[in-house]
Chain A
């Protein structure tokens, strides 16, 4: 890594004016090399982020912004066009640009610098506008440009060597790397020297961007750093501790949030009006809309029949929704199919025009309800004159659920209700990766169960653990074949016959310590359904004891 840095330094001195066309030609030439081409998508992305002269830094940032604008201009033309008359939410054109112009390993560095405390610059300003990415990048760049901090940087990077090695596994070859850097420097120099990119340049850039996009997306393999959660030395928190910690955090911007909510609440009457006039209402926007709907329910719907449906509930289904509707209608008995039930409900509502029903659906786009059939049925329900539907959606692509036919059934009016509130209730059925999932429980129960077993049985189990840990990197690992296992146990003098092993395994199975699976060839495979991390911990503990 140091050598490459030196190389870069060498090249830095040779910055000279190069015409735009020359640069492009140069790049196109480079494309010839297969190796470089492979890396090119990344390479071009790196252009701005590779080491720069400090005095160029500001300029470069501007340049980058300019470049961004250029391609947004080109790509976002349609968006802007369509936004021209009407709302034109700002930043709209920023939604659609490609995301791959980013340094893939920058995040790693970012995170790395964080863990490397000594590098982190202390800033005296209390309200230091860190401006997430760009500001960070600057801070990272500054130490690198000083010669004294350079060694420090590379040293700190050396522990990351693994990751780097993996990233560049194809071209550890030094000169390819230097070639690459050469190309980068050339590319960089052009826009820096030239104040404003000419029109021609812009045009060529577009075609470039297109190529770049497809190259970045052509390889299915995307490299990220190989740091894993297990490597974090911090202990995982369990749900309770996390909950306590989070409750201590005071919410920021509460005044503004309240104002935002009040704005939404003013719409309640309008919603009621529009619901009665045959429209249905769908809410979208960032943040949980559950509280808002709940408030709507308590203020407006106290005297009406209404059904609240938690779409995020994992066990929800259209059947249960229809069942609760029939429950409202006091129907006793069952239906042969969902369609029959729907028909019955439809007739009932058509017959009795005084009947009114409000349906509140939180997360209409949830896993369980987003299916075509479910949406069709809910849509048909909502198209009834005296059923009023008010629903919320959260997924980015939720509107794709509805084709024109369904949309006309729903007859939506869209309301943007950005609340910034947490999806606490909605996500309570899901698990977070970082929260220790009752991890202590299996470990202690493992130890507990195994202590009650004979030394031989423990040995058998340890054998299986070791085998599983050895194979943990093998994605196609299905388990240990019974025959092999028997052989190994015999060799370790743990069992003397097939039968004894089977008896042991039955005991394990009763304690849910192992799972057996029949392979395609009819052979039994044995697997421990416990996380590998826990198994490692377990082995460590065992060794300590012995």
Chain B
């Protein structure tokens, strides 16, 4: 009775299941005309830091240095709003992977934890099975791939496999994946690991558009989706109760021109119960109480949503069901050049052996 009254807030207390937050923020493009991708990443970095995730838990990867680029008329700044309203570079940026270190290999190694022993702590994603991770990618992308630095690509299959490796090694509790590129929705199509939620700025076949052309600097400062995301996040504070459903509403088609998409089928909780601060902030749940709570009694939870069966290590979720959920419709394609060539060859051989006189009958 006395303990039962106290159980209620404790259920809420442990409802999200994570104890620490990490963020991996990646900008994959270099060159001065891709200023907006760096500004995108730095805006998310700024929000994430403001909401409480410390630099030690943020892996920031920037492929180029816009603040110190020779063409920057305002050196040491990266603006996200024109007329220089908001300098997202600030004076306490900690970039962990910079310039040519931002490669597909390094990104995958960070995610899976397979880094050489000499890698410093600031370059590692030291997450555990109670970490909520935010992964934000931006750059130039296409249907099923994201371009890294003009010379390589990461495909959606590779990304899905990396997340599966993370799941099998218990490197995350829940993972929020946000991508702001052209045709971004193609990047989360292939996910099959549990507890993943994904957002993208545009569907397959659509381009994500840029925003904020600034004539003084001479480039576009932000992309639309991240611009409105930043606006949304500026209203979030550490004790905000906004949930993921609000995040899905960010940047509707009227503002973004492209159609943002999201994927929640792999996420085991209801998205409405997942708070924004579960991923974007590092909220330490501290409640000061003057009363004593007897913890020797076992706490009985009535677990409606949580799975009770024990799974074997590998088999947490019937993977095959997820992968083959939607059988792909195979459209009929006309035979391509190989088959046509093969038939031409067969016909030629036939006429060669049986004589050209047969050809006269046809033509």
B and A form one assembly? no
